[in-house]
Amino acid sequence: DAGITQSPRHKVTETGTPVTLRCHQTENHRYMYWYRQDPGHGLRLIHYSYGVKDTDKGEVSDGYSVSRSKTEDFLLTLESATSSQTSVYFCAISYQGGNQPQHFGDGTRLSIL
Protein backbone atom coordinates (compact mmCIF):
# COMPACT_ATOMS: atom_id res chain seq x y z
CA ASP A 1 0.00 0.00 0.00
CA ALA A 2 1.11 3.53 -0.77
CA GLY A 3 2.35 5.35 2.31
CA ILE A 4 -0.41 7.89 2.85
CA THR A 5 -1.54 8.96 6.29
CA GLN A 6 -4.49 11.23 6.92
CA SER A 7 -5.03 12.90 10.28
CA PRO A 8 -7.25 13.11 12.13
CA ARG A 9 -9.36 10.15 11.02
CA HIS A 10 -12.46 11.51 12.71
CA LYS A 11 -13.37 14.99 13.87
CA VAL A 12 -16.47 16.65 15.23
CA THR A 13 -16.49 20.42 15.48
CA GLU A 14 -18.84 23.37 15.58
CA THR A 15 -19.92 25.77 12.87
CA GLY A 16 -17.59 28.74 12.52
CA THR A 17 -14.46 27.06 13.87
CA PRO A 18 -11.32 26.59 11.78
CA VAL A 19 -10.35 23.05 10.86
CA THR A 20 -7.13 21.70 9.36
CA LEU A 21 -6.77 18.25 7.88
CA ARG A 22 -3.36 16.80 7.17
CA CYS A 23 -2.17 14.43 4.48
CA HIS A 24 1.31 12.95 4.81
CA GLN A 25 2.99 10.78 2.18
CA THR A 26 6.20 8.80 2.21
CA GLU A 27 6.29 8.08 -1.55
CA ASN A 28 7.86 11.37 -2.72
CA HIS A 29 5.09 11.76 -5.31
CA ARG A 30 4.80 15.13 -6.99
CA TYR A 31 0.99 15.35 -7.15
CA MET A 32 -1.33 15.49 -4.16
CA TYR A 33 -5.09 15.94 -4.12
CA TRP A 34 -7.92 16.63 -1.71
CA TYR A 35 -11.40 15.28 -2.43
CA ARG A 36 -14.67 15.23 -0.58
CA GLN A 37 -17.04 12.30 -0.86
CA ASP A 38 -20.77 12.77 -0.44
CA PRO A 39 -23.59 10.31 -1.19
CA GLY A 40 -24.72 10.57 -4.80
CA HIS A 41 -21.80 12.77 -5.82
CA GLY A 42 -18.87 10.41 -5.91
CA LEU A 43 -15.59 12.18 -5.25
CA ARG A 44 -15.25 15.85 -6.03
CA LEU A 45 -11.88 17.57 -6.30
CA ILE A 46 -11.33 20.41 -3.85
CA HIS A 47 -7.72 21.42 -4.50
CA TYR A 48 -4.62 19.78 -5.83
CA SER A 49 -0.89 20.39 -5.76
CA TYR A 50 1.66 19.74 -8.48
CA GLY A 51 4.71 20.60 -6.40
CA VAL A 52 5.88 22.42 -3.29
CA LYS A 53 4.01 25.72 -3.04
CA ASP A 54 2.22 24.95 -6.35
CA THR A 55 -1.51 24.47 -5.92
CA ASP A 56 -4.66 24.93 -7.96
CA LYS A 57 -8.40 24.83 -7.45
CA GLY A 58 -10.71 21.95 -8.17
CA GLU A 59 -14.43 21.97 -8.82
CA VAL A 60 -15.57 22.60 -5.21
CA SER A 61 -12.87 24.88 -3.79
CA ASP A 62 -15.05 27.59 -2.20
CA GLY A 63 -14.56 27.70 1.58
CA TYR A 64 -11.32 25.69 1.45
CA SER A 65 -7.66 26.60 1.29
CA VAL A 66 -4.55 24.43 1.01
CA SER A 67 -0.86 24.64 1.62
CA ARG A 68 2.12 22.54 0.67
CA SER A 69 5.40 23.64 2.21
CA LYS A 70 7.05 20.23 1.92
CA THR A 71 6.77 17.45 -0.63
CA GLU A 72 5.36 15.06 1.92
CA ASP A 73 2.63 17.22 3.49
CA PHE A 74 -0.53 18.69 2.03
CA LEU A 75 -2.85 20.57 4.39
CA LEU A 76 -6.52 21.32 3.83
CA THR A 77 -8.02 24.16 5.87
CA LEU A 78 -11.62 25.12 6.40
CA GLU A 79 -11.28 28.72 7.59
CA SER A 80 -14.78 28.85 9.11
CA ALA A 81 -16.49 25.49 8.97
CA THR A 82 -20.11 25.23 7.86
CA SER A 83 -22.54 22.32 8.14
CA SER A 84 -22.41 21.88 4.34
CA GLN A 85 -18.77 20.88 4.72
CA THR A 86 -19.71 17.78 6.72
CA SER A 87 -18.27 15.03 4.57
CA VAL A 88 -15.62 12.38 4.22
CA TYR A 89 -12.36 13.86 2.96
CA PHE A 90 -9.83 11.84 1.01
CA CYS A 91 -6.26 12.64 0.16
CA ALA A 92 -4.70 11.10 -2.92
CA ILE A 93 -1.24 11.11 -4.45
CA SER A 94 0.03 10.47 -7.96
CA TYR A 95 3.54 10.11 -9.32
CA GLN A 96 2.99 11.91 -12.59
CA GLY A 97 -0.55 13.27 -12.78
CA GLY A 98 -3.42 12.14 -14.93
CA ASN A 99 -1.89 9.33 -16.91
CA GLN A 100 -0.92 7.60 -13.73
CA PRO A 101 -3.38 6.26 -11.16
CA GLN A 102 -3.97 7.89 -7.84
CA HIS A 103 -3.40 6.23 -4.50
CA PHE A 104 -5.78 7.12 -1.73
CA GLY A 105 -5.59 7.55 2.01
CA ASP A 106 -8.18 6.03 4.31
CA GLY A 107 -10.16 9.24 4.68
CA THR A 108 -11.16 11.71 7.39
CA ARG A 109 -14.76 11.77 8.54
CA LEU A 110 -15.60 15.37 9.45
CA SER A 111 -18.85 16.35 11.15
CA ILE A 112 -19.73 20.00 11.63
CA LEU A 113 -22.55 20.66 14.05
Partner 1 sequence: AQSVTQLGSHVSVSEGALVLLRCNYSSSVPPYLFWYVQYPNQGLQLLLKYTSAATLVKGINGFEAEFKKSETSFHLTKPSAHMSDAAEYFCAVSEKINFNKFYFGSGTKLNVKP
Q: Where does this chain bind partner 1 (CB under 8 A)?
A: 4, 31, 33, 35, 40-45, 48, 50, 56, 58-59, 90, 92, 97-99, 101-107
- Mapping DSSP onto H, E and C, the string for the chain reads CCCEEEECCEEEECCCCCEEEEEEECCCCCEEEEEEEECCCEEEEEEEEEECCEEEECCCCCCEEEEEEECCEEEEEECCCCHHHCEEEEEEEECCCCCCCCEECCCEEEEEC
Q: Which residue number, 15 or 58, has a Cβ lying nearer to partner 1?
A: 58
Q: Which residue number, 8 or 97, has a Cβ lying nearer to partner 1?
A: 97
Rounded to a whole number of angstroms, the minimum distance from the CB of residue 55 to partner 1 is: 11
Rounded to a whole number of angstroms, the minimum distance from the CB of residue 105 to partner 1 is: 5
Q: Which residue number, 18 or 52, has a Cβ lying nearer to partner 1?
A: 52
